[in-house]
Amino acid sequence: IHGLWPDKEGTLLQNCKPLPTYIHFADKMLDDLDKNWIQLKYPERFARKEQPLWLYQYLKHGSCCQKVYDQNTYFSLALRLKDRFDLLRTLQLHRIVPGSSYTFKEIFDAVKTVSQTDPDVKCTKGAQELLEIGI
């Protein structure tokens, strides 16, 4: 998971006011987030304690849906959507696996089978590697 970004009529919303208060996770939610929304840029102990990625994402994007979703619901929704649109499994089912080359259309079409809408597939410039899939 990179993030859960609310939008309004195709426009991504971010840094909405008032900024919500972030409450550090513990127990099961901490474990679920740590397993599924990995904070790779930080040492594990620091990441679990300070939760910098989740804090950043919640203040930047969760702030824009706080009238509808509190912090726990926002992150729970992101985890449920990850499971609903299990992209790794979807790609595997379409025989798209790491270490081989595929066309943009092959990846796009595979993801569309679960998203039911056109996904936002991004590749790195120059290296022609899959960078991000937005649904």
Is 41 in the same domain as 70?
yes
Question: SS3 of 32, please?
Answer: helix
Count of residues making up the chain: 135
Domain containing residue 8: CATH number: 3.90.730.10
User: How do beta strands 11-12 and 7-8 pair?
Assistant: antiparallel
Residues 73 and 102 reside in one and the same domain: no
Given this model, what pLDDT does residue 123 score?
87
- Domain of 91, in residue numbers: 87-134
Say how many domains are in the chain: 2
Task: Calculate the average pLDDT of the chain.
Answer: 92
On whether both 112 and 74 belong to a single domain, the answer is no
- Kindly report the pTM of this predicted structure: 0.83
> Is 57 annotated in the active site?
yes
Q: Is 61 a catalytic residue?
A: yes
In terms of domains, do 74 and 122 share one?
Answer: no
Q: Which whole number is the average pLDDT over 25-49?
A: 95
Please tell me whether residues 92 and 76 are part of one structural domain. no
Pair of tokens at residue 24? 């550090």
Catalytic residue among 39, 51, 61, 66: 61
pLDDT digits (tens, 9 = 90+) for 88-126: 999 999 999 988 999 999 999 999 999 999 999 998 887
